[in-house]
Structure 1
Amino acid sequence: MPGMPPLVAAPVDSVVQPLTVPDAAHAVGSVLAQLLDVRLRQSRAVDPLFTQELADRLAGLVQRGGKRLRTAFTLCGWRAAGGSDDTAAVLRTGAALELLQACALVHDDVMDGSVQRRGAPALHVELARRHWAVGMHGSPESFGTSAAVLAGDLALAWADDLLTETALDTPHGPRLHQEWRAMRTEMVAGQYRDLHAQAARSSGVDEALAIATLKSAQYTVARPLALGASLAGADDHVLDALRAAGRCAGLAFQLRDDLLGAFGDPQLTGKPADDDLRSRKLTYLLAIAVQLADAAGDHLAAAALAPDSNPESEYALRQVRAALERSGARELVKRKIKELTATSLGHFERTGAHPDVQREFAALVERATGVATRPAEEVA
């Protein structure tokens, strides 16, 4: 459309003050607020109904936030590679990641049939309720699913637009875009492997780790670190160290998320605790429990965890949780998270980053994995 304003309004480009990793969540929230204001105004010019019923809801999901971990890791990678001046491009990249995350969450909730996200109804549920409330024709569920797929696509389009604008405005744009392209493909590949594993009723540990690496570790930590470092013109040595650190921290993050999915409090996590168990989603926690139960000859645990199990009732869910405990899988996963966290810090040290940046990374990994990485007196 002729005369259409750029995706990000001009005030964002004035973000040049020193920014530390702990500040990243608030800072990217301000960038997203400006970005979404521009995008929603553009959407209203295209179609007011589309904006009111779909784009506004998507913007609400994005603004409800989350941990903003991807933005924080992007800033950390940038600082590790020597970035120290204008943070505008870093924050725009972080905002693109947050939009891509919104796309992934909306589509993931549809595929998993999840009803809650970030303490509110999942977008497909909200849209289905809207359909029912106003008495529209046809199936509310089908409408909600279809509309949510479009909302996820819209988030992806906004993310790609923003990242492309950022890449065009930096001397390191080709490397930045290369990392982005790789991450998008990995994310979709991981999601498909997840769907395939559920349909095939897979229980393999290697398969579970492959899914966790593609769907979470790369996308949550490794690629954001590399995106930030690319903006600072990092060399291959720094990028390799950051990718290794990110894969380990990202896996630890996903393994913790698996534990929360099985044993977490929905009031704290903002999503139901039983979805992964009811759908028998292949997680490392489940795969290692099956392996341990088989090795121990624990037939009761093996039956509860079997590929053809269908834990719909509360009693069946308690049996699955008991099997995860009794097999030793829960404790083994906790130990694995600690090992991966320690290994991640070792890889990050290879970047030669300033000690302050190493401490920021350690604090960020601690936040992501729940594993203490600093002495108690330093935390206090």
Structure 2
Amino acid sequence: MIDWLGTVLTESPPPDLLRLVAVPVFAWAAYRDIRTRRVPNATWLPLALLGVALLAWDISRVSAGDLPGGLVARERFYLRVALSLGMVGSIGYLFYWFGGFGGADAKALIVLAVLFPTFPTYIFPAEALPLTRTTVGVFSLTVLSNTVLVGAAYPVAVTLRNALTGHLAPIMFIGKPIRTADATTEYGSLLQTPEGFTRRGLDLDALRMYLCWRGTTLAAVRDDPARHRDPASLPDDPNAPGDGSIPESGAVATETDGEAVTDGGREDADGPAAARARTDYDDPWGARAFLDDIEGSAYGTTPEGLADGLDVLAEEDVVWISPGMPFIVPMFLALLVSLVYGDLFFTLVSVLV
């Protein structure tokens, strides 16, 4: 073991060895993503700065002629760096802009584009890792393609699980059934409306924000849906909604009583107190009042979407939700595969062609 470790440490390029710092950081981020769906922004800045420093180191080595292959190899190096930063980094940003990625997912992909623009090299006594390399030679692109392949296995597993447990429905390929009472302890989105299945149902983070804002619980909503549907039941002074994450205790909020407003309460014309004072106010569940009152948005939730989701949760005992697979988890697994083996997609294409 000492021999191969000595070989790795002495024969591998020092910048590539330092890039391995990303492995434990991504492992921790994947763990956080599973447990809380929240990864602190501070996670990515040190890695990004490390990537910039190592890229500058690589450029100085290439400029000094340390890269075998002469002018052609240098040109390929700069092209690969440009592709990694310009294409893979842009993919992360654009997917976040259009709502395909969360903020942490986009930052993680951008960090990979900076940290791993070209294939690293790790020299062992009998082999050099990664075992396979692509013609393009952009390592961050390899991690991205491997992430897609690893991530594709998850819906397959979800489908098999649903089939084996007898949960057969049109939504079984992308969702899983849960007890409605457990909805506030899950991440994902509701895949149902009163009209049937949908792929754009209520985000469960937004549900937790709403319950916290009202100072109530899902159990209380299910016990007395008629009261909660009435805008007159809105509290005088709603709570701060939070960010919708699941508390470590598992408790979302404590219920408070709402009494009709006579005078006092909130002064804003469209706030909860004003809504309760107007008997003609058409706002089932106080959904519009909630979204008007909070600062920012609740993960793109609309008043209609929130009201429809609450209708389903109040009536059904079992609901379907999206599993909410955190993207950083397959990205971490893909990083490990990429560092050891290389590009799975490139290998599959080579075999098929």
Q: Is the structural similarity TM-score above 0.5?
A: no
Asked which structure has the greater CA Rg, the reply is: 2
TM-score by length of 2: 0.32
Question: In proportion to residue count, which structure has more helix?
Answer: 1
Q: Looking at both structures, which has the greater relative contact order when contacts are Cα pairs under 8 Å and sequence separation is at least 6?
A: 2
Output the TM-score relative to the length of structure 1.
0.30
